[in-house]
Structure 1
Amino acid sequence: MKMTQLGSDGPQISQFGIGAMSFAGLYGDATVEESHAVLDACRYAGVTHIDTANVYGNGRSEELIGRWFGANPGVRDEVVLATKAGITRDPERRFNNDPDHLEMSLDESLERLGVDHVDIFYVHRYDRTHSPEDVGGTLKRLIDKGKTRAVGFSEIAPSTLRRAATECPIAAVQSEYSLSTRAPELGLIQTCAERGTTLVAFSPVGRAFLTDAPFSYERAQSMAFTKSNPRFVEPNYGANIAATDRFRSLAADMGEPAAALAIAWLIAQGDHVLPIPGTKNTNHLAELLRGTELNLSKEDRQRIDEVLPVGWAHGDRYTQSQWEGPERYC
């Protein structure tokens, strides 16, 4: 397993993590047995990073991980554990970065996880009623209280990262980043590298488009998120399947699963880039893990760029309502 450093002065961490939204979240719930089988397989493969959030299944994802810790004494000390808060169920205030709210949310997460601290605590969505400096100060106090060892943000602009970092070291920033979503290359990946911040890439296989088994149109229409997402509605869906068919053909020519090639491409973008795919299926996990074993040559990357050039995807990555919260910066 390839290893990297978390942030500028954090621990060594596998350059591949498991995103636990797949256990409970946008794409349905996993059973206890399914989620624990994935976690067991990750442990066996040397994956040392688990990423979850309080909103994934309204705490169910955290509870499943907590039960896994309970069933495997000592495993907590082997992993870098991350969770997030800041998204609410209040329609009047969807995002809340108030100091008391973030600390209360973290306390509740710790209880569900059955631990006394996490290794990374993220602000899941930046609340613009606070300045980045104020939120950075709040996060610093949570570190000082011993409730988290490091902190991060999700879906923020490079300018917000720089401002928050004046009050607290920001170990990691999460952003959607893949061959289908290249926006982080317009400033975020560079700012993270300059500041020694790890860029944690979620949805690294393009919400299944970059796999050998992309969601069928019927399945996409059965899930709340993809049902209205611009990339999964026609005519965009059909165009995106046609575009990624070229990628699947390339992967087959190279003798690799498409998902492995997508993961390998991300890891090749820099030692500070850490993909966190999610899955309920150990067979799919094996395809994803295969990407950590590949070393793409310059020629390999050129072939990938030829079949999926920058800007190939049809449709925005979010609807207007889904864009509420994430920061646009280009």
Structure 2
Amino acid sequence: MKTRKLGQTGIDVSAIALGCMSFVGFYGKSSRDEAFATLDAARDAGITFLDTSDMYGKGLSEEMIGEWQKDRGHRFQIATKGGIVAGAPRGTADNSAPYLREHLEGSLERLGVDSVELYYVHRREFPRPIEEVAETLEGFRQEGLIKGFGFSEISPAALRRAASVAPVAAVQNEYSLWTRLPDLGLVQTAKELGTTFVPFSPLGRGILSDHDLDPAAFGDTDFRKNNPRFIEPNFDFNMEHVRALRTFARDRGWTTSAVALAWTLHQGDHIVPIPGTRNPAHLMEWADADEIIFTESDRAALADIMPVGWAHGDRYSDAQIVGIERYC
């Protein structure tokens, strides 16, 4: 696995990281054994970097990672997040220093580590100046609790404000062949400021793969059940493009998920995508995506198959988008 820089921290991480939200049932039932098998596969594939949060299963994802590391005697590089208020109305955030410290310390305890490579504010508390939050996070870094800090779902303007206080190691936003919003400023601003850009859901929440999805079979807790892109007629329109992408990948001896992931990697050397899965077999379908090199002809074909704005439906419903910073 190739490596890439984590902002200005001086840390090298695997070019592809593993998102660990799926370990706790966000997209369907999961188990400890399955999560452990997936972490085994990640380690064996050369993945060094994990992404989790104190919100994933109310800390369960972090606990699983901590248990796995203790059991296997292996230490991943870890990014985790805090700042969302559990049990409060969706979108409620607390970015105060006492709240973030309490939740960071809880994450470290569950993970069984003294520090993490990266700590994100999961959602902004908009009334609180982001400069104040950056000062809090920089204080954690100077204490040795974290190696770097970042933000999730913020705007380019907010990133500039935070970076005026201290270097921001990473920002993460949804970014993939069907979600291009970060191209309208965030990818470029991160590059300019020496910040790593971390695409989450780079596989389109499972649609950009060789596995057929059945929205009718989604469980009540599955995020996609009420997501506009997975609701008819949008889903059928979207699958027309996905089937064309599958043909493109198959004709070149690649998996569809590896192609989708390679596309994100090709958008900049400061990009570290975090595909998520709880299935070790699925992980192996894209683990070598960093080896794919597109020709000019390949790039032209991808642009024809999935032109900017091709996806039918918004990436979030009105209820799901609460708390996310919009900038376009």
Residues 233 and 221 of structure 1, relative CA distance in 2, 3 Å threshold: farther
| Structure-2 residue corresponding to 1:83 | 80
The CA distance in 1 between the partners of 2:215 and 2:246, in whole Å, is 18
Q: Which has the higher contact order (CA 8 A, sep 6+)?
A: 2
Aligned partners of 2:25, 2:110: CA distance in 1, in Å?
16
Q: Say if 2:198 and 2:274, in contact at 8 Å, map to a contact too.
A: yes
The share of aligned pairs that are identical, in percent, is 46
CA contact (8 A) 1:205 1:277 kept: yes
Residues of 1 paired with 2:29 and 2:118: CA distance? Answer: 24
- Output one character per residue of 1:197-229: Cα deviation in whole Å (capped at 9) or x when no partner: 000111000111111114212133644421211
The 10-residue stretch of structure 1 (244-253 or 308-317) with the greater mean CA deviation from structure 2: 244-253
Find the aligned partners of 1:136 and 1:33 in 2 and give their Cα distance.
Answer: 37
TM-score (norm 2): 0.96
* Structure 2 residue aligned with 1:283: 281
1:133 to 116, 131, 134: 131
The Cα of 1:270 is off from its aligned counterpart by: 1.0
- Bigger Cα displacement from structure 2, 222-231 vs 182-191: 222-231
Residue by residue over 1:95-121, the C-alpha shift from the partner in whole angstroms, topping out at 9 and shown as x without a partner, is 111111111001111111111111100
| Structure 1 residue 10: Cα displacement | 2.4
Aligned to 2:143: 145
Report the TM-score when normalising by structure 1: 0.96
CA 1:102–1:51 in structure 2 vs 1: closer, same or farther (change >3 Å)?
Answer: same
| Equivalent pair of 1:84/1:121 in contact (CA under 8 Å) | yes
Q: Letter of the aligned partner of 2:131 in structure 1? A: E
Q: Does the CA contact (< 8 Å) of 1:8 and 1:195 recur in 2?
A: no
Partner SS state of residue 274, structure 1: coil
Instruction: Please name the residue that 1:51 is paired with.
Output: 51
Secondary structure of 1:61's counterpart equals helix
Superposed CA deviations along residues 170-221 of structure 1, whole A, max 9, x for unmatched, are: 0000110000100010000000000010001110001111111142121336
Q: Is the 8 A contact 1:243 1:308 kept in 2?
A: yes
Which residue of 2 is the match for residue 61 of structure 1? 61
SS at 2:288 equivalent:
helix
Whether contact under 8 Å (1:118, 1:147) holds in the other structure is yes
Q: Contact 1:10–1:171 (CA<8 Å) still a contact in 2?
A: no
**C-alpha displacement of 1:241:** 1.3
How large is the RMSD of aligned CA atoms in angstroms?
A: 1.3
**What is the letter of the counterpart of residue 60 of structure 2?**
R
Residue of structure 2 equivalent to 1:98: 96
Structure 2 match to 1:10: 10
- Structure 2 gaps, min length 5: none
CA offset digits 1:113-140 (Å, max 9, x no partner):
1111111000000110211101111111
Alpha-carbon contact 2:28-2:222 (below 8 Å) kept: no
Cross-structure match for 1:203: 201
Displacement of 1:70: 0.6
Does structure 2 retain, via aligned residues, the 8 Å contact 1:99–1:138?
yes
**Native 8 Å contact 2:22 2:278 kept in 1:** yes
Structure 1, unaligned runs of 5 or more: none
Q: How does 1:232-247 map to 2 (within 5 A)?
A: 232-247=230-245
Q: Following the alignment from structure 2 to structure 1, what is the Cα–Cα distance between the partners of residues 171 and 290?
A: 21
List, as ranges, runs of 4+ consecutive aligned residues in structure 1 with deviation greater than 6 Å. Answer: none
- Structure 1 position 87, deviation (Å): 1.2
Aligned residues between the structures? 327
Query: CA offsets per residue over residues 131-161 of structure 1, 9 Å max, x none?
Result: 1101111111111222111000000000000
Amino acid at match of 1:33: D
